[in-house]
A and B are shown apart, each in its own frame.
Chain A
Amino acid sequence: MPAATASIISESRGLVVNVTGVLTADGVAAVWPVLDKIAAAAGDVLVRAGEVTACDSTGAVFLRELERVTVSGGRRFQLDGLRAEFARTLELFPLDAIVPPPPTPRRQPGLIVTVGEKTCEIVADLRNQVVFLGQLTVALWQVLRRPRQLHWKKILQIFHTAAVDGLPIVGLISLLTGLIISSQSVGPLRAYGADIHVIYLVALIMFRELGPIMTAILVAGRTGSAFAAEIGTMKVNEELDALKTMGLDPVRFLVVERVIAGCWALPLLTVYAMLLGVGASFIVMLSGGYSLPALYAELTDYCTVSDVVEGLLKACFFGVLVTGVGCLRGIQTRAGAAAVGAATTRAVVSSIVLIIASDCVFTLISTTLRDAASLPF
């Protein structure tokens, strides 16, 4: 049994609509289809509402909609028998109040405009990055001249969060990567009788490339995104504006300490990743029957300190890059909760793209230098 009913009786003068029951949301949902029938029919409409036992604002909207459908077809509308208290509710909703306003047309730009806008956005973003790099350099220079300005306790806290708390995940990923590369490469190299060189292969990859890259990507996901969210929330809460009005430079106050912490955290984490990656290859080879002295000799004969130094230089650069980009995206946050999420995503994506792109440049430079010095590999 529906909460409300609406029946139509055709008479010579037009339509008589008997509305009964409880005209609240549930009742209105049951009787709303009658509007289509009234719109499709001809003749004036008389609504008998004497048996309506309850009518809230949703019910009032339904009765007004009955009226609107009728009069919009040039017909006459009459409401009969509605109780006085319900009639007062109906008076609150004039006919024009229930008509939704037309949607505001949203501009749909064409392809050329979209490409142009995106290009401008990318150029503006690059410009912002250059400006930010300049501001960061100036702030770092000022801090180096007056190291007492730095909050070393805060730097240690950030370092702890970025490096110490990151040890488990960086360790696990490095160990597994070392195991996977060793296990996959030992077979093909054995075909040439060179399976002992797995140690050299894994060490080279971990020292020069995967150690710094993997660690940087993990730090971008853990720490860079956290910086973007933290500073982004501060921006939304007008805390950055408060800093500015107090005469404090947000870059010096919020970014420098994070960048310094990241600049130390990433090389140390990278050393840890290198050790575990190479250690995993040792485990694989030891399980294959090789002796520890033979494996150690393989490592020291072929790998040089310069391989480790190259990886650490990259790690330092990635440390500045990941923390700097995280902070920049936080500072660029716009209004609203969604903007903080967008800033976090942009921080991680930008960091990963810049890590891989800058690693390509590093590799090209180091390869060229090795060729010029006639060094092997």
Chain B
Amino acid sequence: MPANRQPIISVRDLTAQYGDRAVLEHVSFEVRRGEIFVILGGSGCGKSTLMKCLIGLYQPAAGSVFIDGENFSAADADTHARLLRKIGVMYQSGALFGSMTVQENVRLPLDEYTALPVAAKRAVVASKLALVGLRDASFKLPAELSGGMIKRAAIARALALNPAIVFLDEPSAGLDPVTSADLDQTIIGLSRDLGVTFVIVTHELASIYTLADRCIMLDAATKGIIASGRPADLRDRPPNDLVKSFFHRQPLTTQPGLRQPS
């Protein structure tokens, strides 16, 4: 991935808090156009909060999120709606609408936001489902799909309006290694072929090495970014013990009461 690409997301001095409790403090980073960017960290470090700020579901207490050069976190209603069309989101559970078939789920954004004729919508939906390898499941209900198929259908729905950025929340969670690797390849293919920027929240090491062009690591104690760069670099040259323990799957301290392996 060329390093000189223009940023498509700029997070500047972002602080997020629930009530009086700050979760993130003074977080700044940039995501470049067309790259696969991974946000990682342990449980409770603020990954999901950061993602909610990026997709406009949560208003940061301070700081700004710029999408394609426009201030998303301080946008008026019209700008906010226009910027929302530039992003697609896949939630951890898929969040497919249970009463709709797969093709109806993918078609919903097209019905709401485009003036395409019915035949065009059908063709576009078929093409998106073909992209994620779900053409044969078009008329199935979400309850009839496997975990991997639900995630694929959710990605197809996120891609329906050809967004410039797609956010994926824990795409590998709950999937077997083969399905997870398969999904990783789909994401890489979509990034390479469609030029979509992916922002992925995960803590699956295998996926991080496979997918990420760059990543940042958050930490609950410092409430901010403790490392950033290419995953292989962070693994080989960890800047601190936290990063080292994460990438090498080592416990930070010896916990009392647990017998250590001999």
Contact = CB atoms under 8 A, between A and B. Distances in A.
Interface in A85-118: 88-89, 92-94, 97-101, 103-104
A101 B138 contact: yes
A58 B162 contact: yes
Given A25-B161, A98-B123, A58 B116 contact: yes
B120 A28 contact: yes
A249 B172 CA distance: 34
Contacts of A25: 110, 113-116, 161-162
A164 to B, nearest CB: 30
B139 A104 contact: yes
Interface string B197-236: 0000000000000000000000000000000000000000
A29 interface: yes
Most B CB within 10 A of own CB, among A24, A28, A62: A28
B69 interface: no
Contacts of A58: 116, 120, 124, 162
Interface residues of B, number: 32
Interface in A53-98: 56-58, 60-62, 64-65, 88-89, 92-94, 97-98
A65 B123 contact: yes
B186 interface: no
B127 A98 contact: yes
Contacts of A93: 127, 130-131
B124 A97 contact: no
B119 A32 contact: yes
Contact of A97 (B103, B113, B135, B136): B135
Contacts of A337: 98
A26 interface: yes
B126 interface: yes
A338 interface: yes
A100 B114 contact: no
Contact of B143 (A89, A99, A103, A336): A336
B62 interface: no
B91 to A, nearest CB: 14
Interface in A319-345: 335-338
Nearest to B114: A25
A61 B124 contact: yes
A29 B135 contact: no
B131 A92 contact: yes
B122 interface: yes
Interface in B126-160: 126-128, 130-131, 135-136, 138-140, 142-143, 159
Given A57-B159, A61-B124, A88-B193, 17 more contacts: A25-B110, A25-B116, A25-B162, A26-B114, A32-B116, A58-B116, A61-B120, A65-B119, A65-B120, A65-B123, A89-B194, A92-B131, A97-B127, A100-B126, A100-B138, A104-B140, A338-B99
Interface string A25-57: 110110011010000000000000000000011
Q: Is the interface of B mostly helix, strand, loop or mixed?
A: helix
A101 B123 CA distance: 10
Contacts of B110: 25
Interface of B: 98-99, 103, 110, 113-117, 119-120, 122-128, 130-131, 135-136, 138-140, 142-143, 159, 161-162, 193-194
Nearest to B99: A338
B194 A92 contact: yes
Given A25-B162, A338-B98, A338-B99, A97 B126 contact: yes
A336 B193 CA distance: 35
23 contacts: A25-B113, A25-B115, A28-B120, A29-B114, A32-B116, A56-B162, A58-B124, A58-B162, A60-B127, A89-B194, A92-B193, A92-B194, A93-B131, A97-B131, A98-B124, A98-B127, A100-B123, A100-B125, A101-B126, A101-B135, A336-B98, A336-B142, A337-B98
Nearest to A65: B123
A33 B115 CA distance: 12
A102 to B, nearest CB: 9
A365 B256 CA distance: 69
Nearest to A103: B139
Contacts of B138: 100-101
Interface string A332-368: 0001111000000000000000000000000000000
B103 A100 contact: yes
A51 B117 CA distance: 23
A336 B114 CA distance: 29
A65 B124 CA distance: 10
B115 to A, nearest CB: 4
Contacts of A26: 114-115
Contacts of B140: 104
A65 B114 CA distance: 18
A61 B193 CA distance: 15
A24 B162 CA distance: 9
Nearest to A94: B130
Interface string A1-21: 000000000000000000000
Contacts of A103: 139
A148 B143 CA distance: 41
A26 B126 CA distance: 19
